[in-house]
Structure 1
């Protein structure tokens, strides 16, 4: 039996309790990795800790807290001995709330929540993991989105936050070279449990609960696919595999159904050949 692409590697994944993050956790274990997770859901943490095999350990915490990131790093290293890879997946969505419809008395709170989780969360994760990643000359895989490159993938809050993560990718891949590689995956529309903003009363809403979501997603991309979280996991595996991507940093894998070949088609529009 051949070894997996990540055999012997230790990985920390933020937001690994559900959605794309959970799919990445499961795929990394299949590829031979031992995985630490930082997640805010007590239920998800308990579920991950109960997985058979002893290859996953979860730490409860909030990605807005540097101390929580440090605890997750410490827990992962204590349990598995080192840290080779950091993957940041934790994020929230604005459910396409436009600037015009964004209530003035909620802008400050909504902006802070969105950028604190989607942007600062990744920055703090890298900050906390740097000492251990430096020891292993490891690597980082961030999560952007098609909304970090094209309009229409969210409202201005979400789109702005994902463009900011794209900026982190550019700066950190430059700043941390040559010892630490930094790359990213930019998923397109996905049937996932991505939640909304508590500041906008959408914290309990999940993307997967939207009516006709798969069909709406198919209408926006040339391949007419409605991705599941597992459809993106391969990209994270590839970028995390140091042996296969030694010369790759500052790279983005666009796992989005081909949006860059045509751009986003307005919802309800028809794809033409």
Structure 2
């Protein structure tokens, strides 16, 4: 199986995305049975080969190479193209009747083309790569935490506004946004925080691989951050696929639980080496153990 996957090249997912673009252009020539299913299948195939290609690049480098893992402009361009492809498929599954493909797919193909143009550029070392991914990890986790906190505040305001409407006090001098606005903000914050924490956890894993040669899943910070990611993913699915009578209250309870997971994650980070600067002597010991 691994020998078969090792034959995957950039051409595989580039061709898949190009076929999707052609299929989307065919919608202007009339209704074609099965076209939508073909788009989903080809995009899924493209994403699968895209991910496999990047993972195999990491595996091929191994733990002995001085070259950083996913630490070149070539790798980062392909990661950007992968992110755009995932966003496109997510939007397409929700609204297959739109023509967002004509905006996303040319940009995805152009980004892959850019990766080939910058491929000759020398990659960064492991230490440089660890610092770069550390910056991405910190920024993404900060955005994710901000999203959770903003969603929580939106939920608090939703409950306050709901209570005021029931008690006919909404016309007082203290004005709050409408329930629809607050519910929409809560949902948007949930999506943003889920996406940001996903990026943060992946960047943290790559950072640890570059620094120590292992992810360190048993570390408190990593474990709780991954738990937060799993919960946010579950909460996002519940938000979009479960529709009770009170949407705003549902979103608030989900965000409240997300806040609890965020507090646990921060507690785990601050009470482990994950959230503190490790002395040089300790880093060398960890590196020797990982080797």
Q: Could you say which structure has the higher strand fraction? A: 1
Q: Which has the higher helix share?
A: 2
Please, what TM-score do these two structures have when normalized by structure 2? 0.32
Largest Rg, 1 or 2:
2
